């Protein structure tokens, strides 16, 4: 990467929010905030959280204000202008076709009696996101298989995204339009802003980050990610032919510990040499 501007896209929970088991280095978040203040850096949060919970996290954890927020696992994109969150309607239109004319309620009806699924709270649902809880002792793959069969029969083009809510010890399963993923949303935002491919860096830590971590987007996996995710991300990146676009943060990088935002900054150091003197 030899460019002088950067679209820094980062997951929130356990990536810049230090809400995992591993310790956060005391300098990590202050350095991350200072880095993001530079005019050459455009910060976008990419998260499963909805708008209100993103704002809550920014306040609770003193995180830098973003220029953009890709929320609800990619089903919404907001531009933030002087504290106003403006929804990108072009994104909404882009993903609307995938559900083949079915709305949230119709999809819910279709998946109603799949065993073990329980609907998440209304605040976690939106026009293009149907979200369930699934207990961790249940084999998620067999549940996903049953859901896929039903969706396919109705010609619905959906992505089923599995992740784990560690603090609450429960599985999360999101049904989204096929194109409403973190990866497609990042690519859409990049094009929308006219950024080149080598001006984008992504950081993440868990299951719903995998499609980006294994893609051609320059991506860093923070050091606090589980060994299982590290292996899965490396395997996926290799299979897709993008092993060079994945970087695993280390325990010694930038004299911090590679966890959370320290790992994000280490990814910038790795992929964007022009920004090294700004870290």
What is the contact surface with Mg ion in residues (CB under 5 A)? Answer: 11, 13-15, 205-206
- 42/206 with CB nearer Mg ion: 206
Question: To the nearest whole angstrom, how small is the minimum distance from the Cβ of residue 54 to Mg ion?
Answer: 13
Question: To the nearest whole angstrom, how small is the minimum distance from the Cβ of residue 129 to Mg ion?
Answer: 17
**For residue 114, what are the contacts with CB-CB under 8 A and spacing of at least 6?**
143, 146, 147, 150
Question: To the nearest whole angstrom, how small is the minimum distance from the Cβ of residue 69 to Mg ion?
Answer: 14
- 14/76 with CB nearer Mg ion: 14
- 48/253 with CB nearer Mg ion: 48
- 110/219 with CB nearer Mg ion: 219
Number of Cβ within a 10 Å radius of residue 220: 29
Write out the two tokens for 87: 């929804």
What is the DSSP code string of 183-210? Answer: HHHHHHHHHHHT--GGGEEEEE-SGGGH
Question: To the nearest whole angstrom, how small is the minimum distance from the Cβ of residue 75 to Mg ion?
Answer: 16
- 11/199 with CB nearer Mg ion: 11
Strands 170-177 and 200-204: unpaired
Half-sphere exposure of 59 (CA within 13 A, CB side): 7
- 218/264 with CB nearer Mg ion: 264
Write out the two tokens for 253: 């990088």
* 177, β-bridge pairs: 158
DSSP state of 126: B
Is residue 70 left, alpha or beta, with left meaning phi > 0 and alpha meaning psi from -120 to 50?
beta
Residue with tokens 């959280």: 49
Closest residue to Mg ion, based on beta-carbon distance = 13
């Amino acid at each position: 990467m030899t460019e002088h501007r950067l679209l820094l896209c980062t997951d929130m929970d356990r990536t810049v929010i230090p809400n995992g088991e591993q310790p956060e280095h005391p300098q990590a978040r202050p350095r991350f905030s200072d880095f993001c203040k530079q005019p050459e850096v455009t910060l976008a949060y990419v998260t499963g959280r909805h708008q209100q919970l993103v704002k809550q996290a920014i306040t609770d954890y003193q995180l830098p204000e973003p220029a953009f927020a890709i929320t609800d696992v990619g089903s919404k994109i907001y531009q933030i202008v002087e504290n106003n969150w403006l929804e990108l309607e072009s994104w909404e239109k882009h993903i609307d076709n995938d559900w083949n004319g079915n709305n949230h309620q119709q999809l819910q009806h279709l998946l109603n009696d799949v065993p073990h699924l329980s609907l998440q709270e209304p605040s976690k649902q939106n026009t293009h996101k149907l979200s369930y809880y699934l207990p961790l002792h249940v084999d998620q793959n067999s549940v996903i298989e049953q859901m896929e069969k039903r969706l396919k029969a109705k010609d619905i083009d959906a992505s089923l995204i599995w992740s784990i809510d560690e603090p609450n010890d429960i599985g999360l399963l999101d049904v989204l339009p096929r194109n409403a993923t973190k990866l497609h949303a990042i690519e859409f935002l990049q094009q929308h802003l006219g950024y080149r491919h080598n001006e984008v860096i992504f950081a993440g830590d868990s299951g719903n980050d995998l499609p980006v971590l294994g893609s051609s987007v320059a991506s860093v996996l923070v050091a606090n990610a589980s060994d299982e995710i590290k292996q899965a991300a490396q395997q996926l990146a290799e299979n897709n032919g993008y092993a060079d676009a994945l970087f695993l943060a280390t325990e010694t990088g930038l004299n911090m510990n590679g966890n959370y935002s320290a790992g994000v900054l280490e990814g910038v150091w790795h992929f964007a040499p022009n920004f090294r003197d700004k870290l």
